[in-house]
Each structure stands twice: as structure tokens, then as C-alpha cells.
């Protein structure tokens, strides 16, 4: 299977899950989950939200941020992977002056 993200329209999402600012994303979705190359723009965040049916894997490509998962704060930087397991809740905040760029993979289980 080949997914060409260059052929998928990038969408801009203000206040994702009640967060602040804006993010941009291209999304592939099927019954098994989602693959989402995305950017949380400077000053933006994804608000706290639960993952009742899926694991949410976020691999950081560039920028800096923090994730809060089940009350635990994790610092995000290039090369770091934040995982929010099924049954947990998390938020992600861009703490830098540049976009927080990540590849998000949501695995339904």
C-alpha cells in the first residue's frame, strides 16, 4: 500500500480538541486508524482529549513542546516519541517559536 501525502489536501484546524491557536495536517484514515503528518503552529495546542479505542503515537520531527498524559508532563523535541495509550487522555502544546512538526499514528484496537 502506498500513501501519497502530497496528493492529500492540507487542512487547517483552529482550536483542535479545545486547544489554542491552529494546526495544519494531512490525514489518511481507514478502519485500522489514522496517519497524520501535522504541525502545531507557534502558540498553539491540542486540548486534553481521551483515547477510549486507540493508541495515539506522536513522533516529533522538529520544534519543541510538551505533552501531558494522565497528569504526567513529557518534554517533546526532535527524535522523541510520545505515546498516549488506549484508555488514557492527553494534550500537546507547542512551547517553541517555530512549528511543532510531528507524525501522528492512531492505531484502533
What CATH number is associated with residue 22? 2.60.120.10
pLDDT band (50, 70, 90) for residue 91: very high
Is 19 contained in some domain?
A: yes
Contact status, residue 70 vs residue 89, Cβ threshold 8 Å: yes
pLDDT at 28: 98
Quote the cell numbers at residue 5.
501525502
Q: Edge-to-edge, what's the strand order for the sheet holding 72-76?
A: 45-50, 89-94, 65-69, 72-76
Give the model's pLDDT for residue 25: 98
Does residue 88 belong to any structural domain of this protein? Answer: yes
The Cα–Cα gap between 72 and 88 comes to 11
| pTM of the shown model | 0.95
Q: How many Å apart are CA 23 and CA 31, to the nearest integer?
A: 24
Q: Which residues constitute the domain of residue 55?
A: 11-108
Amino acid at each position: 500500500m502506498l500513501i501519497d501525502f502530497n496528493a492529500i489536501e492540507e487542512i487547517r484546524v483552529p482550536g483542535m480538541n479545545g486547544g489554542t491557536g491552529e494546526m495544519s495536517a494531512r490525514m489518511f484514515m481507514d478502519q485500522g486508524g489514522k496517519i497524520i503528518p501535522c504541525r502545531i503552529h507557534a502558540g498553539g495546542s491540542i486540548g486534553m482529549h481521551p483515547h477510549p479505542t486507540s493508541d495515539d503515537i506522536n513522533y516529533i520531527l522538529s520544534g519543541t513542546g510538551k505533552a501531558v498524559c494522565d497528569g504526567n508532563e513529557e518534554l517533546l523535541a526532535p527524535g522523541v516519541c510520545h505515546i498516549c495509550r488506549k484508555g488514557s487522555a492527553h494534550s500537546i502544546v507547542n512551547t517553541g517559536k517555530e512549528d511543532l512538526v510531528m507524525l501522528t499514528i492512531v492505531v484502533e484496537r
